[in-house]
Structures are given as structure tokens and as C-alpha cells.
């Protein structure tokens, strides 16, 4: 279900507002796509236990959600979005400044600082993207309030992000500094500034609601079902389930070439390999939420290709392959991550002259007969020989 499609926490991170700050794109959740309990990373990241996962639904309880957005970078499929926050827009807004200060809404607004719902949203991918845009020092304000924050505090997540940046860039990474207070000298700031910052966030979140024409709503009395709208809704649901890049991954993937990764070291990317046991069923490509895996049929062939750029290593492909033919591995060196789309599996197809099904050329004989039809034909020959004998 869609939770809080146009909502945002009414008081930054306050909890119990009755309006969820997280929008859900269920069509991209890997549990629903794969019809198995494959991932619970968003649940584990949520400090308020507001997320419920089943094989049919992802729901965010607006009475519990504190709007911190910690679930957003945790989701490998990009099925969760913090309303009012776009990673690409955020990074672009700070591009070119060698020193930036970022503060959470809960602590206070800081003069000259850019606010985010919670510092837990700033994972290593976003911080690395800032480095690619010329930011050398990132000051994170408000961590002194983490101990009492409903979001559970960002210090542990930021420590993990700094360790990853160190692994990727060594001494060439950005300087990430935790500032205990929200003000330039560690002071808590003032209430008017905090209120102004929250109003700024709310203005963007509710803009779509304010654009609704009341005359177009009416009271609905005596109205017939709008079947055209129902068809459009179905098309929207189909479009929603189609693979697309994850925003938190895309900000890094689009800037990898500009980043000073350690030579031959990890680059935040993973690869895939497909063994000869692959049957060409394409289930891995059909269910991939990011479009990293892509399947193609027609023109006498079946193939699976892979692009490491959008891959978040959600591992759904490994879990759903019926023959265990696909495997994953970490990529080392930026050139490996920038290799682009490559074919992992290719099969020349033929059409069976008996049943009309498509089968792999390597499995056939000189005649265009698929293995099942060939086996059936051989069994018929055996029966005839037995009866004639």
C-alpha cells in the first residue's frame, strides 16, 4: 500500500503525527517481487518499529513513523522515499562548496547550513557524491542531540559511513566532522530558526496538495465509476513495478569516474556471473528491481546482460534463480565498475517443429526438435518396437 504519498511528519521528527513521512513503492520491494522473505533491512533500520513487511504489503504506520528516513538508504531496491528529500537535488545544491555544514531538523536550523530530516539519511554514497562535486569538508551539526532523539541517533550510522569512505578513498576522502551542537559554536540554536526551517520543508512536501482544485473534487454523489481513471491507475501500478535505478545508488554511480578511489580497491559496486547451468528462464532479469540485470528474447536468441552501475547487491537474483546459476562478487577498481552493460548469458534459440516451443540450440539435434519432444518420440519408438516384437 502507499503510505503517506503526500505526507511529511508535521514537526520534523516528532512521531505520532498521524501522517507518514515515507512513501512506499511496493512494486519495487524485493520481498513482493520475489514472493519470499528476502530482506528486512528497512525494518531493522527503523527506530520506531513503524514498518510492517509481508509478501503482499509494505506498510508504514503514520502513528509510529518519526520521519527520520533511515529506512530510505537501507532499502536496496529504492522502495521507500522520504517525502521532500531527493538525493540528487540535495547533492547538486551543495556542489562547488569546499566546506559544507549539514544539520538535522530536530536539532535546529543553522545559518548557512542545509537541513535534512535526519543525519541517518547521509550514507557513504551521498557523502562520496559530495566529494565528487568538490566538497572537501563536511560538517554534520546536531549529533549532540542524538542521545535523546526519537530516530535513535545518527552517530553509529555516520561512523559506519566514515569507515566506508576510508575503505574507498584512504586519505583522499572527504573530512567528515561531527559537530555536537547545532550552532556554529555548538549552541543549540533558537526556536524561531528551527520553526522557519521546518516550514521550508513542509512547503515543498505539501505543494502537491495545495494545487488540488476543490471544484474538481465535488461530493461524488451519483457519480459513475471513472473507468478511464481505473485503467490509468492500473497502468501506473505496472509502471511502478518496472525496474529503475535507486536514487541513493545513482548519485554515486553517476560520479564514480570523478572520485579518487584507491587503486585496485573496492568501489561500492558488485558484479554478477552466470554459470553454464542457466536455463535461460530470465526470472533473475524479470525480477531485478534496479534494471542491472536485463533479459532479452527474440531474433533467434535469449540473453541476460548486466550493468554494475545500478546494482545495489540486493541479492534477489541469487535467491530466485531456480537452478542456482547466478553468483555475485565485489568489484575492485573503478574501471570494473564503469565497464557498462555486458552479456552474461547467450543462447541461440530454435523453434521445435513438433510443439512450437523455443529451445536452446545446444540442446537440440540436427532436426529442430526440443528435448521433451525428442524424448517422447524415442519412447514411442521403443513402444512400437516392443509391440512389433
Please check whether residues 196 and 108 belong to one and the same domain: yes
Q: Taking the mean position of all CA atoms in its chain, how far away is CA 370?
A: 40
Whole-number Å distance between alpha carbons of 296 and 303: 5
Asked if residue 216 belongs to a domain, the reply is no
* pLDDT given at position 5: 32
pLDDT for residue 310: 96
Maximum Cα interatomic distance, the chain, rounded to a whole number of Å: 101
* 275 and 292 share one domain: yes
95 and 191 in a single domain? The answer is yes
Measured CA distances, 155 to 115, 120, 140, 268, 337 (Å): 17, 8, 10, 21, 30
In 3D space, the residue among 174, 189, 8, 12 whose CA is nearest the CA of residue 112 turns out to be 189
DSSP state of 282: -
Pairwise CA distance, residues 109 & 85, whole Å: 16
In 3D space, the residue among 74, 78, 72, 65 whose CA is nearest the CA of residue 33 turns out to be: 78
Q: Are 48 and 97 found together in one domain?
A: no
What confidence score (pLDDT) does residue 109 get? 57
Pairing assessment for the beta strands 51-53 and 58-60 based on DSSP bridges: antiparallel
Q: Give the separation between CA 177 and CA 139, rounded to whole angstroms.
A: 5
Q: Are residues 91 and 202 in the same domain?
A: yes
Whether residue 361 sits in one domain with residue 298 = no
pLDDT for 18 equals 46
At residue 372, the pLDDT reads 79
Element (H, E) at 360: strand 358-360
In a shared domain, residues 78 and 154: no
Is 56 found in the same domain as 99? no
Residues 278 and 326: beta-carbon distance below 8 Å: yes
In a domain, 363, yes or no: yes
* Inside any domain, residue 243: no
- Check which CATH number belongs to the domain holding 157 and give it: 3.40.250
| Domain extent at residue 368 | 352-388
At 221 the three-state DSSP class reads: coil
Q: Are 262 and 216 in contact (CB under 8 A)?
A: no
The residue among 28, 90, 56 whose CA lies nearest residue 287 is 28
CATH of the domain at 50: 3.30.70.20
- 105 Cβ partners below 8 Å, 6+ apart? 12, 13, 115, 116, 117, 118, 194, 197, 198, 201
Same domain flag for 290 and 364: no
Same domain, 185 and 98: yes
Domain count, the chain: 4
Q: Which of 82, 106, 129 is the last residue of a domain?
A: 82
**Would you give per-residue pLDDT tens digits along the chain (389 residues)?**
334 332 333 234 444 444 458 999 999 999 999 999 999 999 999 999 999 999 999 999 999 998 999 999 999 999 999 999 999 999 999 999 999 999 887 665 555 678 899 999 999 999 999 999 999 999 998 888 787 787 778 999 999 999 999 999 999 999 999 986 544 333 444 444 444 444 443 343 333 333 333 333 333 333 344 444 444 444 454 455 789 999 999 999 999 999 999 999 999 999 999 999 998 999 999 999 999 999 998 878 899 999 999 999 999 999 999 999 999 999 999 999 999 999 999 988 777 777 877 766 654 455 677 777 878 877 877 777 777 76
Cα dihedral 158, 162, 164, 169 sign = positive
SS3 164: helix
Cα dihedral sign for 23, 26, 30, 35? positive
Beta bridge partners of 116: 104
Amino acid at each position: 500500500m502507499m503510505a503517506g504519498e503526500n505526507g511529511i511528519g508535521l514537526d520534523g521528527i516528532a512521531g505520532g503525527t498521524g501522517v507518514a513521512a515515507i512513501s512506499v513503492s511496493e512494486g519495487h520491494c524485493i520481498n513482493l517481487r520475489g514472493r519470499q522473505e528476502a530482506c528486512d533491512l528497512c525494518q531493522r533500520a527503523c527506530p520506531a518499529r513503524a514498518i510492517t513487511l509481508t509478501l503482499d504489503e509494505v506498510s508504514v504506520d503514520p502513528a509510529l513513523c518519526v520521519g527520520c528516513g533511515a529506512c530510505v538508504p537501507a532499502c536496496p531496491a529504492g522502495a521507500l522515499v522520504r517525502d521532500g528529500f531527493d538525493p540528487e537535488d540535495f547533492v547538486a545544491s551543495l556542489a562547488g562548496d569546499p566546506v559544507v555544514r549539514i544539520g538535522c531538523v530536530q536539532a535546529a536550523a543553522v545559518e548557512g547550513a542545509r537541513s535534512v530530516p535526519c543525519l541517518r539519511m547521509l550514507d557513504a554514497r551521498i557523502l562520496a557524491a559530495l566529494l565528487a562535486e568538490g566538497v572537501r569538508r563536511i560538517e554534520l551539526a546536531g549529533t549532540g542531540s542524538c542521545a535523546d532523539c526519537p530516530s535513535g541517533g545518527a552517530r553509529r550510522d555516520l561512523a559506519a559511513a566514515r569507515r566506508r569512505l576510508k575503505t574507498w578513498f584512504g586519505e583522499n576522502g572527504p573530512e567528515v566532522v561531527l559537530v555536537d551542537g547545532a550552532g556554529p559554536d555548538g549552541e543549540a540554536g533558537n526556536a524561531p530558526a528551527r520553526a522557519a526551517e521546518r516550514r521550508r520543508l513542509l512547503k515543498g512536501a505539501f505543494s502537491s496538495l495545495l494545487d488540488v482544485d476543490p471544484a474538481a473534487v465535488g461530493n461524488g454523489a451519483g457519480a459513475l465509476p471513472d473507468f478511464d481513471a481505473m485503467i490509468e491507475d492500473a497502468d501506473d501500478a505496472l509502471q511502478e513495478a518496472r525496474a529503475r535505478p535507486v536514487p541513493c545508488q545513482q548519485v554515486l554511480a553517476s560520479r564514480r569516474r570523478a572520485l579518487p578511489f584507491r587503486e585496485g580497491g573496492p568501489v561500492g559496486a558488485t558484479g554478477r556471473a552466470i554459470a553454464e547451468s542457466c536455463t535461460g528462464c530470465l526470472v533473475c532479469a524479470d525480477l531485478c528491481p534496479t534494471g542491472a540485470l536485463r533479459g532479452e528474447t527474440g531474433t533467434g536468441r535469449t540473453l541476460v546482460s548486466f550493468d554494475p552501475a545500478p546494482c545495489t547487491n540486493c541479492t534477489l537474483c541469487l535467491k530466485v534463480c531456480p537452478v542456482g546459476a547466478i553468483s555475485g562478487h565485489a568489484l575492485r577498481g573503478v574501471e570494473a565498475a564503469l565497464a557498462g552493460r555486458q552479456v552474461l548469458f547467450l543462447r541461440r534459440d530454435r523453434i521445435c517443429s513438433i510443439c512450437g516451443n523455443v529451445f536452446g540450440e545446444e540442446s537440440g539435434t540436427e532436426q529442430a526438435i526440443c528435448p521433451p519432444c525428442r524424448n517422447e518420440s524415442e519412447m514411442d519408438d521403443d513402444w512400437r518396437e516392443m509391440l512389433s516384437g
